[in-house]
Chain A
């Protein structure tokens, strides 16, 4: 059996009197694409926020590779190798695409202030390394031609790709994508599916995905968690989920 990279148990999140997420349990294995689906308002993004440290869950535990991370500030969680994208793209719009990728390497570039001020060889080497990394990712995603453009000026599909590249350049172990296919055209969705699959095979990362596009989810997910009203109603392989009467009921209503 493959080891679990991420284990979420008994996760509960409250906003005042509202129980947004209740008793959620799931685990993501190494090199697995795990999707969370569910109707709008089911609490999928809340789970994301709890796992990535943007919310502090009321109860429950989040364990990344044997280390408890619930309640840690989000930047500390990211440093442990768990990075995420956002439903509404959050690029640094006034910075260029390249600079977006350089900023993302901030915690990897360990150069002191004085090194930078005097542009010492070690500083220059680190900067060059960062540039090379960024160039490699831009090449991989076919974004080299727009590297020096302001990130905010790119078409929507490209912005999504830059956001994924920006996450990947931090060398994560778990990539969390919040509705990455939203707003993409069918062709772009096919390419996104290929990209996610290749990231998993090439880098051995796990992917935690929130998505509404069912064909994409069914195609690339290894396992799926279905949520409704803050609770998990089913977990399983895509085929099981597709035929689960509770899931069909949640999505289509009762006949």
Chain B
């Protein structure tokens, strides 16, 4: 089949050559010639790009690594690209006929109602779902918290922060270290983690917030990396690349979810209820704690945006000069966004540490920041419902696609590209709760 298409490509190519030799008598043929040229170039690029991925494969044959050649997929890919490029102008002409399904416009009230409905649904979900899906749900909830936090910084205040994961790490390590050295419990550490992360946000924010746009993005990226490198290298404090392990899970008002109590004389969850021990209890409990944190974050962020400080963030995002002329101090306002965003990342970090039972710098790489940013952008900047949906999509999708094995990240990427073509303004663009004039 590929030989067929190759032959056709070759014949088309000769036609193209003759056409260009004829020096384009009519505009149509000229366009076709140009089209053929670009199609040819595109398929050559395809061959170059796909050869290492599809064409050459390493195989282990009894302790020996052998390089196998598979040219068929490469030719197929090149042919597919070539055909697509040839017919692309036709597609472009008829593009108005191809329409992506539209998402209904939702006003702020509807969005709020949907968020509340989702919360209720989220509350019921773990009691009917499998242990694995509850686990994935918990991860999704962590990303919702992170997305909502970053949404304050990027969505509301318009500050592109690429080092957000740094504050997430600070939250996680705060709990891990406080627990290791002082034996403090999860619930004691949760507010402390938020506070410490916000202090980091404040201190790091202070020098960089004079910068705008791209410059701010680069510097925050640097800070995120600095925090990670610090954790990696301050071995005596943070345990270096090994991190800190043995972090206890949260308790339910002092009740543990273990098979046996860690202290003599106390009873664990299943003993008190008189039921058999099951690992699922812990998983469901963690999920519910995450859900409570999401509800808390939703409450805080939706209040913040209605408050003077929230209005100031949006005003600042729109016009910093006008803000200054109205006695709004831009540095203060940006710092408040940065600090509050960091505090929320701290909460998520402490929960993450408790869930994993282990923190190490590997969990806080730049790709994590990028993923959280993708949640915010994909959801629609400044939109709470959008962030919630995008976080669910971006965490559940890779799990669903697990069956596709090594292609799953490819699918993930493809979905993101298609999403951005379909809705460049995000899944659900923000529709702000407007203040109305009292009648």
Which residue in chain A gives the minimum CB-CB distance to B308? A109
A75 near B321 (CB under 8 angstroms)?
no
Within the complex, what minimum Cβ distance (angstroms) separates A99 from chain B? 6
Minimum distance in angstroms from B413 CB to a CB of chain A: 31
B326 touches A78 (CB 8 A): yes
Q: A92-B314, A116-B307, A166-B326 are in contact. Are A131 and B321 (CB under 8 A)?
A: no
Find out whether the CB atom of B307 lies under 8 angstroms from the CB atom of A103: no
Q: How would residues 321 to 340 of chain B score, 1 for a CB under 8 Å from any chain A CB and 0 otherwise?
A: 11111111110000000000
Which residues of B in the span 273-323 have a Cβ within 8 Å of any Cβ on A?
A: 300, 303-304, 307-309, 311-312, 314-315, 318-319, 321-323
A105 to B309, CA, bound (A): 11
A80-106 CB contact bits vs B (8 Å, 1 = yes)? 000111100011111110111011111
B residues near A98, Cβ cutoff 8 Å: 434-437
Residue of A nearest to B340 (CB): A113
Q: CA of A79 to CA of B328 in the docked complex: distance in angstroms?
A: 8
Query: Shortest distance in angstroms between A209's beta carbon and chain B's nearest beta carbon?
Result: 16
User: Within 8 Å of chain A (Cβ to Cβ): is B403?
Assistant: no
Q: Are B327 and A107 interface neighbours, CB within 8 A?
A: yes
Are B435 and A104 neighbours in the complex by a CB distance under 8 Å? Answer: no
In the complex formed, the residue of A with least CB distance to B318 is A92
Residue of A74, A79, A102, A119 near B311 (CB, 8 A) is A102
Return B358 CB to nearest CB of chain A, in Å: 33
Also in contact, A74 and B324, with CB within 8 A (given A94-B314, A144-B437): yes
**Smallest CB separation, A84 vs chain B (Å):** 5
CA of A79 to CA of B434, assembled, Å: 27
Give B407-439 interface residues, CB cut-off 8 Å to A. 434-438
Whether A99 contacts B322 in the complex (CB less than 8 A), given A113-B309, A116-B303, comes out as no
Beta-carbon contact of A95 and B314 below 8 Å: yes
Closest chain A CB from B305 CB (angstroms): 11
CB neighbours (8 Å) of B325 from chain A are 52, 54, 74-75, 78, 83-86, 90
CA distance A111 to B311 in the complex (A): 14
Would A106 and B328 count as touching, CB distance under 8 A? yes
> Could you tell me the distance between the alpha carbons of A131 and B439 in the complex, rounded to whole angstroms?
11
Is A183 an interface residue, CB under 8 A from the partner?
Answer: no
Contact A75 B434 (CB under 8 A): no
Contact of A148 among B319, B322, B326, B437 (CB under 8 A): B437
B435 adjacent to A102 (CB under 8 Å): yes
With A73-B324, A75-B324, A117-B300 known as contacts, the answer to whether A103 contacts B312 (CB < 8 A) is yes
Measured between alpha carbons, how far is A167 from B325 in the docked complex, in Å? 9
How many chain A residues sit at the interface, stated as a range, is 35 or more
User: What's the least CB distance linking A113 to chain B, in Å?
Assistant: 7
CB-defined contacts of B437 to chain A, threshold 8 Å: 98, 131, 134-135, 138, 144, 147-148
| Tally of contacts, chain A with chain B, CB under 8 A | 117
Chain A residues in 8 Å Cβ range of B322: 86, 90-92
Question: In the assembly, what is the distance between CA of A117 and CA of B330, in Å?
Answer: 22
Q: How far is the CB of A162 from chain B (nearest CB, A)?
A: 12
A170 in the interface, Cβ–Cβ < 8 Å?
Answer: yes
Nearest neighbor of A134 in chain B, beta-carbon distance? B437
Given A92-B315, A106-B328, A170-B326, verify A99-B435 contact (CB < 8 Å).
yes
As a 0/1 sequence over residues 127 to 160 of chain A, the CB contacts with chain B under 8 angstroms (1 = contact) are: 1101110110010000010011000000000000
- Chain B residue nearest to A100 (CB atoms) is B315
Bound CA span A92–B303, Å: 21
Q: Decide if B309 touches A75 in the complex (CB within 8 Å).
A: no
Q: What are the residues of chain A within 8 A of B303 when measuring CB–CB?
A: 116-117, 119
Given known A95-B315, A96-B434, A148-B434, contact A111–B324 (CB-CB < 8 A): no
Residues of A within 8 A of B321 (CB): 54, 86, 90
Q: Which residue of A lies closest to B303 (CB)?
A: A117
Q: For window 5-22 of chain A, which residues contact chain B by CB distance below 8 Å? A: none
Check if A75 sits within 8 Å of B328, measured CB to CB: yes
CB distance from A207 to the nearest CB of B (A): 16
Give the chain B neighbours of A109 by CB distance below 8 A.
308
Given the complex of chains A and B, what is the CA–CA distance between A116 and B438 in angstroms? 19
Chain A residues positioned under 8 Å from B312 (CB to CB): 103, 106
CA distance A104 to B327 in the complex (A): 8
CA distance A144 to B324 in the complex (A): 26
Residue interface bits B110-131, CB-to-A below 8 A is 1, else 0: 0000000000000000000000
- Across-interface contacts of A117 in B (CB, < 8 A): 300, 303-304, 307
Rounded to whole angstroms, the CA-CA distance of A86 and B330 in the bound complex is 18
Minimum distance in angstroms from A146 CB to a CB of chain B = 10
Q: Report A114 CB to chain B, min CB distance, Å.
A: 11
**A4 CB → nearest B CB, Å:** 22
For A132, the closest partner residue in chain B by CB is B438
For window 78-92 of chain B, which residues contact chain A by CB distance below 8 Å?
none
Task: Report whether A116 and B309 are in contact in the complex, using a CB–CB cutoff of 8 Å.
Answer: yes
Residues of B within 8 A of A111 (CB): 307-308
Q: With the chains together, A93 CA to B314 CA distance in Å?
A: 11
How far, in angstroms, from A82 to B312 measured CA to CA in the complex? 20
The docked-state distance in angstroms from the alpha carbon of A113 to that of B304 is 8
Q: Mark A31-54, 1 if CB is under 8 A from B, else 0.
A: 000000000000000000000111
Closest to A150 in B: B434
Q: How far is the CA of A11 from the CA of B324 in the complex (A)?
A: 22
B327 touches A78 (CB 8 A): yes
Q: Are B435 and A103 in contact (CB under 8 A)?
A: no
Leading 9 A-B pairs by shortest Cβ distance? A78-B327, A116-B307, A90-B322, A74-B324, A79-B327, A107-B327, A103-B315, A147-B437, A92-B318
- Name 5 extra pairs, CB < 8 A, besides A75-B324, A86-B325, A148-B436: A92-B315, A95-B318, A103-B326, A135-B437, A135-B438
Pairs A–B under 8 Å by Cβ, sample size 21: A52-B325, A53-B324, A74-B325, A75-B329, A85-B325, A86-B321, A93-B318, A98-B434, A100-B315, A102-B308, A102-B311, A102-B435, A103-B326, A106-B328, A111-B308, A116-B304, A116-B308, A117-B300, A127-B308, A128-B438, A132-B438
